[in-house]
Structure 1
Amino acid sequence: MNKKLIVVAVATLALGIGIGSIRTGNSSIEAHANEAAEHAEHAEHAENGAAAEGEHAAGEEGHLTLSNEQITAAGIQLIEAGAQSINLGLPFPGEVRFDEDRTAHVVPRVPGVVESVSVNLGQSVKKGQLLAVISSQQISDQRSEQAAAQRRLTLARTTYEREKQLWESKISAEQDFLQARQALQEAEIALNNAQQKISVLSGSVVATGGNRYELRAPFDGVVVEKHLTPGEVVDVTSNAFILSDLSRVWVTFGVSPKDLTKVQVGKPVTISAPELNAEVVGNVAYVGSLLGEQTRTATVRVTLENPQGAWRPGLFVNALVATDSREARVAVPETAIQTVEDKPTVFVRTDDGFKAQAVELGSRADGQVEITKGLESGVQVAAAGSYVLKSELGKASAEHSH
């Protein structure tokens, strides 16, 4: 009720009281005065209630009044919603594994006893670095066999040269020369055989001298498993060390048959690890042609460069395989989307602040979200810092509810 109307009403009632007092006296005057005061009080309460209802309605509409200084202080950044290409993808849970092409099982080539171990578990080693020394009777036997074969060859070669000269000089028979040549050839074969027995120790195993041989690193890597201790008896079935080059790792994940047509070799894959807050892009390097008996999925592999060693084998990751791309008419960053009253909402910039606008979402990819309904291209919305506006809107709604 308007305050002027209240004054007129009070004046009218006072006039009526004055006229009535002539007939009824002082008691009637007091009754009418009290009634006028009550009418005025009810009118004031009605006006205050109407104002409160107006403020509550404004809060429900999602309007927030903020100056430019307040927006800057709150760290709110504005972006313009617009058309954008959205890369669609299929998400899969994956795991970081050793690159099996750069993982070696270093094993003893002959039985023996471990004399010393020079590396520890988890240690980085260089190609050719000493890992362990093993003593073996078999090594001693092979060296003796090689030495004997070398001496027999020397003797056979000397005999052959002498018999050749005698035969050419017509002093000895040809049969003696042929026997000497055959003996020389047999000695050469015996030496080659002995040398081949020793050569099996090449590569990651190096023979030193006597009855000892060394295990050495075949390439730069990390000792990921170690199963040797000094004094331990080992044979060719013992798994002494496992070395892996962690500068490159694999990410593997399973794909069901219905999605195999969308996952092909060469497709881009975004690998992310929430625990590390890290993300990297690779390509599908291998798609298995067989389905696992337990999982009934095909194994897909992505090769990742890992120069800093951050992607550790055993880490669970998310793999998003790019399958297609589409042109979204309106798209905004994911940071612009907040949930208000269980609805996806963006905060649209207005002349005096922001307005909460419910929207419908479409595809998501690369940190962008497609808006299919509720927002037009070219409109400015809050991106980074939009959660501050959601918090302020919640406070305003709580205050109005009281």
Structure 2
Amino acid sequence: MTRTNLFTLLALVAATALAGGAILLHDGRAPGAAAEAHDHGGKAGAHDDDGDDHDHGDDHGANHAAAPDAIAMPDAVIAASRITVASAGPATLDLGADFHGEVRFNADRTAQVVPRVAGVVESVAADLGQRVRRGEVLAVIGSATLSEQRAALLSARERRETAAATFERERRLWEAKVSAEQDYLLARQALREAEIEQRNAETRLRALGADLAADPSALGRLAIRAPFDGIVVEKRLALGESVAADASVFMISDLSTVWIDLVVSAQDIGKVPVGARASVTAAGGGAPVEGRVSYVGNLFGESTRSATARIVLPNPQGLWRPGLFVNARVVAGQAKVAVAVPADALHTVEDRPSVFVRTAVGFEARPVTTGRADGAQVEIVAGLAPGETYAAGNGFLLKADLAKGSAEHSH
């Protein structure tokens, strides 16, 4: 064997010896003792005669199983986490029912604007979405029918003026004993007929929405005007287009109020009395808006077997747009309960509703039995006594901490 190979062999032997010593030092026992202890442990696990070790393990497991329900948390950490606490006590619940619905135009403040005479569109002044005032010109059309009506009015005015002059002359002559009374009476009758004809011509023009004092050079022009303050929500005419007398050329709606139509089944119809207070929330979320039930339908649909209940909702900002789906809670009464907590204070722990109750060292998750609810508060029937302090806000942090502790314990 060469000198180099000899040194290599000695180095391997030394490394093996050092590794064995390290193992002995780490275990603290000789190899035989370790084996003996292992064998003893196996026998202890196989025999339950004295029960000391086995009972100790059971006690440890029981204590460890109860730990996940409690959360140790100093006051400083509670304050830093912004976990608010409250004292359990009585509350008044708004009893009602929840319904789905849809925002619709207020039909009492929505109008289909028609020209009322056939014609051709000469100008259009209003656009979709434009806010208009009552009497504002939306469009102008030219109409032969309107021209004939205005011409008839001008003729009636001329005949009345002539009849009035004739009547005045005949009256003076009759009073002077120059003409016969019959001539005076005929002149008076002619004046009255002329007045009736003039009023009839004016009424026909008013029915068409035409201006009685129009410029004689524009007898055939009709200005289509807004019937009230509102927004142009539909527009169905264009410049140069021919329109019929009954064509709906604009739809104007006053969106300062809207209707919320709710779908109410037969078994829930008694939960929606007229005049009941209602809280409406957009299906996509947002702050609720208060309104009142103004109408409940008397008939049920043949296909849906449901009735319509209506809420009149103020809409000063125009945020409630027709077609939007909403959720509404109609409050039909109130009830006083001994203990209630905010809905956010309830959490599901091990598939049971629970409340985090304040303890000397932090919180504990306590299962409770719930009762009635109004969306904001929930009645606690059992599990939480009046005066007990619980986590009312940001309790989800406690639930997260509890879940984390359970995961670490399981691991």
Same fold, TM exceeding 0.5?
yes
Confirm whether residue 167 of structure 1 aligns to residue 144 of structure 2.
Answer: no
| Structure-1 separation of matches of 2:116 and 2:213 | 10
How far residue 185 of structure 1 moved from its aligned partner, in angstroms, is 1.9
How far residue 172 of structure 1 moved from its aligned partner, in angstroms, is 2.9
Q: What do the CA deviations read for 1:220-261 (whole angstroms, capped 9, x no partner)?
A: 111111111111111222001111111111111132333333
Structure 2 SS opposite 1:239? coil
| Structure-2 separation of matches of 1:158 and 1:269 | 68
Confirm whether residue 364 of structure 1 aligns to residue 373 of structure 2.
Answer: yes
What corresponds to 2:20 in structure 1? none
| Structure-2 separation of matches of 1:336 and 1:261 | 31
What corresponds to 1:89 in structure 2? 96
Relative to 1, partners in 2 of residues 1:167 and 1:55: Cα closer, same or farther, differing over 3 Å? same
Aligned partner of 2:150: which letter?
R
Match of 1:185 among 184, 192, 211: 192
* Larger displacement relative to structure 2 (49-58 or 372-381): 49-58
Structure 1 contact 115–133 (Cα < 8 Å) conserved: yes
| Structure-1 separation of matches of 2:61 and 2:211 | 85
What corresponds to 1:245 in structure 2? 254
Relative to 1, partners in 2 of residues 1:95 and 1:205: Cα closer, same or farther, differing over 3 Å? farther
Structure 1 contact 205–213 (Cα < 8 Å) conserved: no
Relative to 1, partners in 2 of residues 1:304 and 1:334: Cα closer, same or farther, differing over 3 Å? same
Structure 1 SS opposite 2:323? coil
How far residue 191 of structure 1 moved from its aligned partner, in angstroms, is 1.3
Q: What do the CA deviations read for 1:299-325 (whole angstroms, capped 9, x no partner)?
A: 211111111112211111111111232
Structure 2 SS opposite 1:151? helix
Relative to 1, partners in 2 of residues 1:34 and 1:238: Cα closer, same or farther, differing over 3 Å? closer
Show the 5 A alignment for 1:2-401: 33=33, 38=38, 53=61, 56-60=64-68, 62-202=69-209, 209-401=218-410
Relative to 1, partners in 2 of residues 1:195 and 1:66: Cα closer, same or farther, differing over 3 Å? same
Aligned residues: 372
Structure 1 contact 205–214 (Cα < 8 Å) conserved: no
| Structure-1 separation of matches of 2:361 and 2:338 | 27
TM-score, normalised by the number of residues in structure 2:
0.83
* Larger displacement relative to structure 2 (293-302 or 310-319): 293-302
| Structure-2 separation of matches of 1:205 and 1:181 | 26
Relative to 1, partners in 2 of residues 1:343 and 1:203: Cα closer, same or farther, differing over 3 Å? farther
| Structure-1 separation of matches of 2:58 and 2:135 | 88
How far residue 295 of structure 1 moved from its aligned partner, in angstroms, is 2.1
| Structure-1 separation of matches of 2:31 and 2:409 | 39
| Structure-2 separation of matches of 1:278 and 1:175 | 81
Q: What do the CA deviations read for 1:305-361 (whole angstroms, capped 9, x no partner)?
A: 111112211111111111232221211001111111211111111111111111111
Relative to 1, partners in 2 of residues 1:245 and 1:203: Cα closer, same or farther, differing over 3 Å? farther
* Larger displacement relative to structure 2 (362-371 or 284-293): 284-293
Aligned partner of 2:159: which letter?
R
Structure 2 SS opposite 1:90? strand
Aligned partner of 1:89: which letter?
G
Structure 1 contact 344–358 (Cα < 8 Å) conserved: yes
| Structure-2 separation of matches of 1:207 and 1:366 | 61
| Structure-2 separation of matches of 1:205 and 1:251 | 41
Structure 1 SS opposite 2:193? helix
Structure 1 SS opposite 2:318? coil
Relative to 1, partners in 2 of residues 1:133 and 1:81: Cα closer, same or farther, differing over 3 Å? same
The unaligned stretches of length 5 or more in structure 1 are 1-29
| Structure-2 separation of matches of 1:201 and 1:91 | 47
| Structure-2 separation of matches of 1:393 and 1:242 | 59
| Structure-2 separation of matches of 1:182 and 1:119 | 48
| Structure-1 separation of matches of 2:212 and 2:170 | 42
| Structure-2 separation of matches of 1:204 and 1:385 | 67
How far residue 34 of structure 1 moved from its aligned partner, in angstroms, is 5.6
The unaligned stretches of length 5 or more in structure 2 are 1-29, 46-52
TM-score, normalised by the number of residues in structure 1:
0.85
| Structure-2 separation of matches of 1:54 and 1:163 | 123
How far residue 41 of structure 1 moved from its aligned partner, in angstroms, is 8.2
How far residue 37 of structure 1 moved from its aligned partner, in angstroms, is 5.4
Aligned partner of 2:163: which letter?
A
How far residue 125 of structure 1 moved from its aligned partner, in angstroms, is 1.4
Moved over 6 A (4+): 39-43, 45-52, 203-206
| Structure-2 separation of matches of 1:54 and 1:125 | 76
* Larger displacement relative to structure 2 (183-192 or 302-311): 183-192
Structure 1 contact 204–216 (Cα < 8 Å) conserved: no
Structure 2 SS opposite 1:313? coil
Aligned partner of 1:271: which letter?
V
How far residue 276 of structure 1 moved from its aligned partner, in angstroms, is 3.7
Relative to 1, partners in 2 of residues 1:114 and 1:102: Cα closer, same or farther, differing over 3 Å? same
Structure 1 SS opposite 2:302? coil
Aligned partner of 1:281: which letter?
E
| Structure-2 separation of matches of 1:298 and 1:306 | 24
